[in-house]
Amino acid sequence: MRARRGAGLVATAALLALLGACSDPADPAVGDPAPAASGTDPTSPDPSPGGDSTGSPPATPAAPVADPAHAVDPPGERDGRLWSADILVQWDRSIDDELLQRIEDLAGVAHTERIGLGQVSLENRVLTVAAVDPRGYRHFTRAEVADFQEAWDRVAGGELAIDRTVAKRLADEDGMIRLGTDDGAPTLHVGAYTPQVPTIDMVVNTAWAPDIEMATDNGLLISTDNATPSSIREPLERMVGEDASVQMLDVASRIGLDPEAKLTAIPTGGTLGSVVGTYRYRVLGGGRIAPDPAWVAANIRTEAVPILGSVTCHKDLFPQLRAALLEVQQRGLADEIDPDEYAGCYYPRFIADTTTLSNHSFGLALDLNVPGNQRGTVGDIDRDVVAIFKTWGFAWGGDWRWTDPMHFELAEVKAVG
């Protein structure tokens, strides 16, 4: 990271809380403490910003190291000024040192911070996780978050920082969140409830990156300080090339995802990462997106399957989908799936009223018997059908904390003989 010599006074970073499907306008950005994980001290301090009436953070002892195997050096107290989070660049590979130098030398660039970026699928929401150095990344967050010392100590100690409303949907009773659908996906304790930089949903330290199978330096936060971010957009896009995503965070903080950007999702590890690869798309109106045509041509197919007839899905979904539906048919359960109540597999759009992708965007999920299996209900879909789909590597939305019993998504790639 590097600051431009002679930078002006600190600019206030008017950042919103998280974007996406899991945000709830009725919830504040911070709130009740997360439960202590099993084996931890239940008297540990509240992992959300607080303090006296002046807004000063409370004086608390250093947070314990929750996971020594995934800890980095504690960051110490904040040292240096805050920077506005104006632009986020994402590549599908590590940023080149020479390119980084050219970006830092670009007129209007005041300060940069390398971070890792990847996407994890949690209950049909594709959320962005950042692997960061707490010492540097905190300077791009808003003041009360940057000065919330315990949050950064906990991130350094191997815990997760996340917005409270997101954690409320995803964390179990012990405050643990599994980052992925695979059985071997890493599970982290929520150490702090903090709003993050726009478009970033949760933060871990860089020691977690190998387990999550993500890079530590394929993203770059840029502050333009007193310069207008849009003034450097065109030269920056020419410099980084068409394969990089350039998001204007000042736009994202006001209206959602930048409609002028070519955006990138890089699912991390496991089934989703191996099947999807790098997914580039543009934002359209009405919640729709336009995936890279080359990705669509290489991955999306329309084929016939038992019971449902002709469906459009990811090519790697078909072997297991056919196997599951064939077994449903062979066991005399075909009448338990109504093809007229099938609601689709591949549809490139955001989850309704959000800027969050779902696994339907990749063609890796399908919705069955929709009318009787609405969100938040136990659903009336036949449980033997559910068991068959699970046998063939599908996760079922009826198992989620906020149930979605119509929903099945590919969770494990299985060999089909």
Q: What is the CATH number of the domain that holds 389?
A: 3.30.1380.10
309 bridge partner residues: 305
Both 201 and 88 in one domain: the answer is yes
Does some domain include residue 16?
Answer: no
Same structural domain for residues 335 and 267? no
Q: Are the C-beta atoms of 159 and 307 separated by less than 8 Å?
A: no
Give the E-state strand segments of 142-255 in sequence order: 160-162, 176-178, 187-193, 202-205, 219-223, 245-248
Do residues 237 and 303 share a domain?
Answer: no
Residues of the chain with pLDDT under 70: 1-63, 252-257, 260, 269
Distance CA 146, CA 196 (A): 10
pLDDT for res 41: 38
In a domain, 371, yes or no: yes
Nearest-angstrom CA–CA distance, 411 and 123: 11
Tell me how many domains the chain contains.
2
DSSP state of 134: H
DSSP strand pairing (187-193 vs 160-162) = parallel
Same-domain status, 119 and 266: yes
Beta strands at 202-205 and 125-132: parallel, antiparallel or unpaired: parallel
- Cβ within 8 Å of residue 334, ≥6 positions away: 306, 307, 328
Judge contact between 91 and 218, C-beta under 8 A. Answer: yes
CA separation, residue 240 to residues 8, 101, 319 (Å): 26, 12, 38
Please check whether residues 251 and 198 belong to one and the same domain: yes
Is 73 a member of any domain? yes
For residues 230 and 248, give the distance between their C-alpha atoms in angstroms, rounded to a whole number.
8
Q: What b/e sequence results for 99-127 when a residue is b if at least 16 CB atoms lie within 10 Å of its CB, and e otherwise?
A: bbeebbeeebbbbbbbbbbbbbbbbbbbb
Q: Are residues 316 and 218 in the same domain?
A: no
Q: Report d(CA 413, CA 31) in Å as an integer.
A: 39
Position 4: which residue type? Answer: R
Tell which of 274, 308, 327 closes a domain.
274
Residues 254 and 317 in one domain: no
* Residue 206 counted as domain residue: yes
Same domain for 159 and 211, yes or no, is yes
What pLDDT shows up at residue 324? 98
Among candidate residues 274, 307, 338, the one where a domain is terminated? 274
Q: Based on the domain organization, do 90 and 232 belong to the same domain?
A: yes
The amino acid that residue 176 corresponds to is M
Nearest to 315 by CA among 297, 338, 340, 290: 297
Do 250 and 120 have their domain in common?
yes
DSSP state of 289: E
Cα 171 to Cα 403: distance, rounded to the nearest angstrom: 14
At residue 415, the pLDDT reads 86
pTM of the model: 0.80
In a domain, 390, yes or no: yes
Q: For residue 261, give every residue at least 6 positions away whose Cβ sits within 8 Å of its Cβ, in sequence order, or none.
A: 245, 246, 247, 248, 282, 283
Residue 347 pLDDT = 93
Which is it for strands 365-367 and 407-410: parallel, antiparallel or unpaired?
antiparallel
Q: Does residue 236 sit in the same domain as residue 326?
A: no
For residue 170, give the nearest of 141, 127, 204 by alpha carbon. Answer: 127
- The reply to whether 287 falls in a domain is no
Q: What is the pLDDT of residue 184?
A: 80
Q: Which domain holds residue 383?
A: 298-410
State whether 108 and 253 are in the same domain: yes
Q: Is residue 97 part of a domain?
A: yes
What is the spatial distance between Cα 179 and Cα 214, in angstroms, rounded to a whole number?
Answer: 12
Asked if residue 57 belongs to a domain, the reply is no
Q: How far is CA 191 from the centre of its chain?
A: 17
Complete edge-to-edge strand list for the sheet that includes strand 365-367? 365-367, 407-410, 394-396
